[in-house]
Amino acid sequence: MSYVVGVDIGATYTRVVLADRDATIIDREKFTTPRESPSAPAAAIINAIREMLKRNGIRESSLKGVGIGSIGPLDMRRGIIVRAANLPLENVPIVEPIKQALGAPAYLVNDCVAAVIGERFFGAGRGHDDLVYITISTGIGGGIYVNGHLLLGKDGNAHEIGHMVVDSEGKLVCGCGKRGHWEAYSSGSGIPKLAKLIAERRPELFQMSALALKGLSGVTSKDVYDAAKRNDPFAIAVVEEAQRYNAMGVANVINVYDPSLITIGGSVALNNVDLVIRPLERLVPEYAVNRMPEIRATQLGDDIGLYGAIALALGLEKLP
């Protein structure tokens, strides 16, 4: 028997899974992404893989490949994470140390690219050559297939859709430091900023809100969506404005890439499907010129990127 490993490197956690040739996940590990030195993340991944192989009675020679989806930006050709938002490390080598330690090929892509690969081979994307995956989580990102080709870009970073400008007035500042980016308005980190903006614009509405008790500085994206579900008028105003920005971002993607299917994941979207994903069908046509694609929540949940990593390790998708 031969086996593969899928890895998901996040700013907070790294997850490692062992899968068989049919992409069935047979074991999992999860640990805090090490941040003490640039060599620490790969060393921790190698350890986790070795332990998993050992406890499942699998020889290292049976390992046929390791696929990795990671926070970026990356230098795909060198197999490194150049630097990562929320991780105090630069030039983190991933591919070479794993290859050398385990004697198996290793493939590194951006986490949203891994996700769209997962969707194409194991999710709703089967049978779609023109497919977009969008995550609405702490940030906003995307992975894209056009005519069956995976889009990567010169360094593997061709998918920073969260940094598309959706507000020419630039009312909010993005985590990247620039103004008017989609992610600044309706991601998990953007919603609190949008709430502040709307509270300034409509103080009377905010004063009546359950969120006023908490004070604006402590309000999270989850607080806003939970309050909207309880029909809090201020929270609904924030959520409706976020829906506008999401519709603009999704319409931009449709106008540029013309997909037949868009799947959406990420905690903000998947925990609030009725408030984040459903309204897109109604709002996106106001901004899109291309024929509307199907838009739906991913069914692969949190594991979507791991499935993409497994597909890479199995050689189902080949990198240039």
Q: What dihedral do alpha carbons 270, 275, 280, 283 form, nearest 10°?
A: -160
What is the pattern of x (binds Zn ion, CB under 5 A) and - over residues 193-212? --------------------
Q: Is 159 in the site for Zn ion (CB under 5 A)?
A: no
Q: Is 181 in the site for Zn ion (CB under 5 A)?
A: yes
Q: Is 229 in the site for Zn ion (CB under 5 A)?
A: no
Query: Which C-beta is closer to Zn ion: that of 125 or that of 139?
Result: 139
Q: Is 222 in the site for Zn ion (CB under 5 A)?
A: no
Query: Which C-beta is closer to Zn ion: that of 21 or that of 178?
Result: 178
Query: Which C-beta is closer to Zn ion: that of 16 or that of 71?
Result: 71
CB of 163 to Zn ion, least distance (A): 4
Q: Is 277 in the site for Zn ion (CB under 5 A)?
A: no
CB of 184 to Zn ion, least distance (A): 6
- What distance in Å separates the CA atoms of residue 29 and residue 287, rounded to the nearest whole number? 43
Residue 298: helix, strand or coil by DSSP? coil
- SS3 assignment for 68-135: EEECCCEECCCCEEEEECCEEEEEEECHHHHHHHHCCCEEEEEHHHHHHHHHHHHCCCCCCCCEEEEE
167 secondary structure, DSSP code:
-
Q: Is 179 in the site for Zn ion (CB under 5 A)?
A: no
Q: Is 165 in the site for Zn ion (CB under 5 A)?
A: no
CB of 71 to Zn ion, least distance (A): 15
User: Residue 225 phi/psi, 5° resolution?
Assistant: -65, -40
153: left (phi over 0), alpha (psi -120 to 50) or beta: left
- Site size for Zn ion, by CB under 5 A? 5
Q: Is 158 in the site for Zn ion (CB under 5 A)?
A: no
Q: Is 176 in the site for Zn ion (CB under 5 A)?
A: yes
Q: Is 140 in the site for Zn ion (CB under 5 A)?
A: no
CB of 123 to Zn ion, least distance (A): 27
User: Residue 9 phi/psi, 5° resolution?
Assistant: -100, 110
Q: What angle do CA 296, 299, 305 make, to 5 degrees?
A: 105
Instruction: Return the sign of the alpha-carbon dihedral for residues 209, 212, 217, 223.
Output: negative
Asked if residues 102 and 60 have their Cβ atoms less than 8 Å apart, the reply is: yes
CB of 197 to Zn ion, least distance (A): 16
By CB under 5 A, name the one of 35, 163, 171, 202 that touches Zn ion: 163
The residue ranges that bind Zn ion (CB under 5 A) are 163, 174, 176, 178, 181
